Amino acid sequence: MKKSVISLVCWMAALGLAHKPVVLWHGMGDSCCDPESMGRVAGLIQEALPGTFVHSVQIGDDPDSDANAGFFGNINEQLEKVCNDLAEIPELQDGFNAIGFSQGGQFLRGYVQRCNQPAIHNLITFGSQHAGVSDIPGCADQPDFRCNLMRSIARRGVYTDYVRKHIIQAQYYKDPKNYDVYLNKNIFLPDINNEFLLHKNKTYKQNLLSLNKLVLIKFAEDETVRPAESAWFWFYNEEGDLIPLEDQPLYTKDWLGLKTLNEDNRIDFEVCPGAHMRISDEYLIMIVSKYLSSDLPLLMQQTPA
């Protein structure tokens, strides 16, 4: 048995079928290296996919400053740093899979569209705000002074010059009743969603179409993100009605390639039970096994005795 396992592993490596590395980008209020959150996620991935290299995106110099960077800063500058950092990691050079948690999901999509070297193969996003938020996200159950400070500053004027350039959550805030103001003032989301009417970034569409699979996961009882369906690119119109992705110009005119991906069966829309970022170990392992593992059953059937 031991020899057959070793032979299987060697054969997988020879065929390039070993599990791809995985990159994680945490959400608001979390940090890259908390052993109870991203550290636990990394452990579950390695349990499901033994031998997998896992890297967690870090913006700050230490876990505390990394958590601060999830609230305060300029996401365009942070994204440029991540592009440069990932390009320097040897284990990632042949490509990798990625999982984004909450706001980390749209940021990883921004990575795909803006640089994608090395390239992402499968991108999974949990409760991400792909279409934006109509209200600044609420804080976690345990009061976080950084979150409360962010909300206090943002609510004084989400499109004021200071807030829109220094509060991360304001950089994916969209006021459905003031769409023109959003287009003119928001420094991040209109760009990565290719919403500017006079200029569509062809590279963004080309890069997103390079994905093998885009997995969009919505939380069934999400009360943190408004609307929760932003995880599937749904958003409100000016009258406050929730508009599905398929009924938006973003999709019908294929500004990002989402229509093409969907018609090619390369987008999956999933629902995770529970509230925002309340992901059970069992559900996470199921998603990881479903989307990030090599085809081990088929491989074992084909392995020489």
Q: What is the CATH number of the domain that holds 42?
A: 3.40.50.1820
Cα(86)–Cα(93) distance, rounded to whole angstroms? Answer: 8
Active-site entry in 56, 102, 128, 230 = 102
Question: pLDDT tens across 37-60, in order?
Answer: 899 999 999 999 999 999 999 999
Residue 5 lies in a domain: no
Q: Which residue has 């059937």 as its token pair?
A: 301
Number of Cβ within a 10 Å radius of residue 160: 15
User: What is the tally of structural domains in the chain?
Assistant: 1
Element (H, E) at 279: none
Structural domain boundaries enclosing 157:
21-280
Residue 54 lies in a domain: yes
Active-site entry in 26, 55, 121, 276 = 276
Residue 6 lies in a domain: no
Q: Indicate the pLDDT class of residue 299, thresholds 50, 70 and 90.
A: very low
Task: Give me the pLDDT at residue 141, please.
Answer: 58
Active-site entry in 26, 222, 230, 254 = 222
Residue 49 lies in a domain: yes
Whether residue 102 lies in the annotated active site: yes
Residue 290 lies in a domain: no
Residue 154 lies in a domain: yes
Residue 285 lies in a domain: no
Task: Give me the pLDDT at residue 220, please.
Answer: 97
Rg (CA), the chain: 20
Q: What is the mean pLDDT of residues 195-212?
A: 94
Q: How far is CA 294 from the centre of its chain?
A: 21
Report whether pLDDT(218) > 50.
yes
Q: Indicate the pLDDT class of residue 140, thresholds 50, 70 and 90.
A: low
Phi first, then psi: what are they for 101, rounded to 5°? -105, 125
Report whether pLDDT(132) > 50.
yes
Task: Give me the pLDDT at residue 175, please.
Answer: 94
- From residue 280, how far is each of 41, 96, 270, 285 by CA, in Å? 10, 24, 15, 9
Choose from 15-29, 111-125, 143-157 the range with maximum mean pLDDT.
111-125
Residue 15 lies in a domain: no
Helix 75-87 crosses helix 103-114 at what angle (to 10 degrees)? Answer: 60
Whether residue 294 lies in the annotated active site: no
Question: pLDDT tens across 253-269, in order?
Answer: 999 999 999 999 999 99
Q: What is the mean pLDDT of residues 272-287?
A: 96
Choose from 3-12, 16-25, 196-205 the range with maximum mean pLDDT.
196-205
Across all residues in the chain, what is the average pLDDT?
Answer: 90
Q: Indicate the pLDDT class of residue 137, thresholds 50, 70 and 90.
A: confident
Q: What is the mean pLDDT of residues 282-293?
A: 95
